[in-house]
Structure 1
Amino acid sequence: MESGETSGEKVEITDPIPSPVQIKTETERGEFLLNNQFMSDVTFLVGPDKHRIYGHKLILFRASNYFFQLFTNSTVNEFPIEDSDPNILLELLRFVYCGKIDLSSENVREIYNESKKFSLDKILKAVENFLNQIIDSKNVLCKLMDNRFYKFKSIERKCLKIICDDPFSYIDQADFKRLDRESLRLILAPKTIYCTNDQLLQILDTWQKTNYEENISDLKLDISSNSIITWKKLPFFGTPSDDSMIVRSQGFVIKNELGVKFTGLGMYYKSLEYIHRVQVNIYDSSSNAFIVKGEYTFRNDNVNIMQIADIFFKPIDIKPDYIYTIYIENKTKVEPFCLGSCRPGPNDINLEIWNDNKGRYPPIAYLYYKANTVS
């Protein structure tokens, strides 16, 4: 019998090549080859225990410049990678071979680090997409701070958009007090933050109460010189009514043909409570729906003194000649107060106000607005 022939016995192959029927897609082919000794021509000895991971040069050097340089500058087929975790490296190779990667909050930072080390730019994009997907209003401050490590511009933009739409809802959160200086600077800097310079200074002062060792003079200078969107303050002129009553609603309409944006209001109140809560809703008759609906909580630092609370919400578009109604309901006890003979001050939006309470108006001191213009 010549060499290479068999005596009719069936030869068992321990790692057979799958048939075309078995491998139907590129992903399945990649899954079969991943860390498979079949046709492997490179071995990585990973971690302090030298865990063996098998690879294929043709696939790997096409994936990154790191592997291209590694293989073209060496004649050996075994490479120690002592400072990597075998499980993390396998996740990276799974992406290279199959286009899939299992990202989680627990492994994302290490995968990011290893992807940069091995020049796997496509995985960096997958990390960026993953981080974008898990940002929400509850974790946005934490994710903005985390991004100081990643430095993804899209993450920074998304976080700042969420925060700057409603900055005052975040200043009492524990994460706000833990903000690093640079993250705070990013929040105070955008041109689209929806509050005035005075309110930016209030945000800065709130942060310094926890970070008292920080010198914030330069941040104050940044605010004073920052060309943020200027929100106009439209005051209401009126006198306190002789009636001790609470008026909860006010209708209004604007005549500016391009419309206007509202982003907040000032409200008179006098209360013995140290924490005050108020519900503010704005109803749009054209859509038969509330376009603002939320409860706002703020500290009452001067109890039993008439003062004004600034309440900000995400900017809303007000269309000309449509009827809107503001509803205000204090959730904590206040002294009854309303305005009589109230009218808006001079403005460029021709705002008209009214209600059905015999000339009595709710305790609105002013509105924050910006008239739309032709761009």
Structure 2
Amino acid sequence: MASSYSALLLGDSAAFTAAFRTLINNPQFSDVTFLVGGEKQEVFAHRCLLSCRCQAFHAMLSQPQKTQGPLLLSHVRPEVFLAVIEYLYTNSVTLNNAIALEVLTSSMEYGLNDLRKLCVEFIKDSLTVEQVCEALQAAVAYGQMDLQTHCLAFIENCTREVVHTRGFLELSKLAILTILRSDCLAIDEVELIHAVQEWARVGSAVLGSPVCDVAEGVVCELRLALLSPSELTTLEKENKKDQMIPIESIAEAWKMHALWKGRRTRSCLCRRRRGTLPREHHRHLDPQHK
């Protein structure tokens, strides 16, 4: 008796994808409509395709009260939602710098792990000085360590430019701490302190909180002891305006200066960054961190 034989044979995947692409936002044969964004733009889709491709949509469309009438999605922009739809229909997505981070957010919301990976790769490949802080913020918020590491490396290479962007001023505490803990920032400590002061003042204006409260937990990462005595004196005077830096931190920096004579120190507060400009007292620092 002859043995049976079977095989899975693949047709033209490009033609298959092209055919499904014609269904994107096509009202013909669609059986579900979304009202997307503040303008409630209509987006047409097919219930069975969304349900089989995305568990979140399957749960959404399985609710009896949502089987009739359009579904409201006011929290997402139409172009972002259409990118998600494109991915669900074709397993590919068209991204640009204007929507990539928001598509990443949607991929997390809808549990689309492969779309998340595509977004992360695009963001990594297209980072700019103006957008890197926003990308870092997203990476920190969503626990995307690969993207976070990539953003931090970018920031380390162009720190002076990055700290003058709007994105830097809008960073969360956790995100800015990620930056301040790096030894590889290409910026001198004085300029970095001024950048953090500006960040805290903007945050104070937005949140209606004192500058010192906004900066709490952040200023401890500033390496005040790297400043020369004259720079530290100037900082102490400037600090009287908003008291961003606790008096104890400034006193600790002065203490380090007083104790340097005749000994070296390995304190993390004295560790020089890549962009730290040399001062005379730096000869007392750990020689491993030249």
Report the TM-score, using the length of structure 1 for normalisation.
0.44
**SS of the residue 1:106 aligns to:** coil
Report the TM-score, using the length of structure 2 for normalisation.
0.54
CA deviations over 1:231-278 (Å, ceiling 9, x no partner): 69xxxxxxxxxxxxxxxxxxxxxxxxxxxxxx67967xxxxxxxxxxx
Kindly state the Cα deviation for residue 65 of structure 1 after the two structures are TM-superposed: 1.0
Matched, 1:214 2:214: no
Gaps of 5+ in 2: 1-10, 202-209, 224-265
Question: Where does residue 161 of structure 1 map in the other structure?
Answer: 153
Matched, 1:173 2:157: no
**SS of the residue 2:45 aligns to:** strand
Matched, 1:26 2:16: yes
Q: 1:80 aligns with which of 70, 80, 91?
A: 70
- Partners of 1:308 and 1:171 lie apart in 2 by 28
**SS of the residue 2:148 aligns to:** helix
Kindly state the Cα deviation for residue 55 of structure 1 after the two structures are TM-superposed: 0.9
Cα gap change, 1:308 to 1:172, in 2 (>3 Å): farther
Q: Do the aligned partners of 2:35 and 2:71 also contact (CA within 8 Å) in 1?
A: yes
Matched, 1:43 2:32: yes
Kindly state the Cα deviation for residue 66 of structure 1 after the two structures are TM-superposed: 1.7
Q: Do the aligned partners of 1:46 and 1:53 also contact (CA within 8 Å) in 2?
A: no
Matched, 1:125 2:113: no
Question: Where does residue 272 of structure 1 map in the other structure?
Answer: none
RMSD between superposed Cα atoms in Å: 4.7
The structure in which a higher percent of residues are helix is 2
- Partners of 1:139 and 1:163 lie apart in 2 by 11
Cα gap change, 1:223 to 1:102, in 2 (>3 Å): same
CA deviations over 1:141-186 (Å, ceiling 9, x no partner): 454346566553223211222333565x348735587254433321
- Partners of 2:27 and 2:89 lie apart in 1 by 14
- Partners of 1:142 and 1:41 lie apart in 2 by 36
Question: Where does residue 177 of structure 2 map in the other structure?
Answer: 185
Question: Where does residue 44 of structure 2 map in the other structure?
Answer: 53
Question: Where does residue 54 of structure 2 map in the other structure?
Answer: 64
- Partners of 1:220 and 1:43 lie apart in 2 by 52
- The number of equivalent residue pairs is 221
Q: 1:101 aligns with which of 69, 93, 117?
A: 93
- Partners of 2:167 and 2:43 lie apart in 1 by 45
Question: Where does residue 301 of structure 1 map in the other structure?
Answer: none
CA deviations over 1:28-84 (Å, ceiling 9, x no partner): 23224434466x463224247673613150x22221112222344449754522234
In the TM superposition, 1:264-343 aligns within 5 A as: none
Find the structure with the greater CA-based Rg: 1
Q: Do the aligned partners of 1:88 and 1:111 also contact (CA within 8 Å) in 2?
A: yes
Greater relative contact order (Cα < 8 A, sep 6+): 1
Question: Where does residue 9 of structure 1 map in the other structure?
Answer: none
The structure in which a higher percent of residues are strand is 1
Q: Which amino acid aligns with 1:82?
A: L
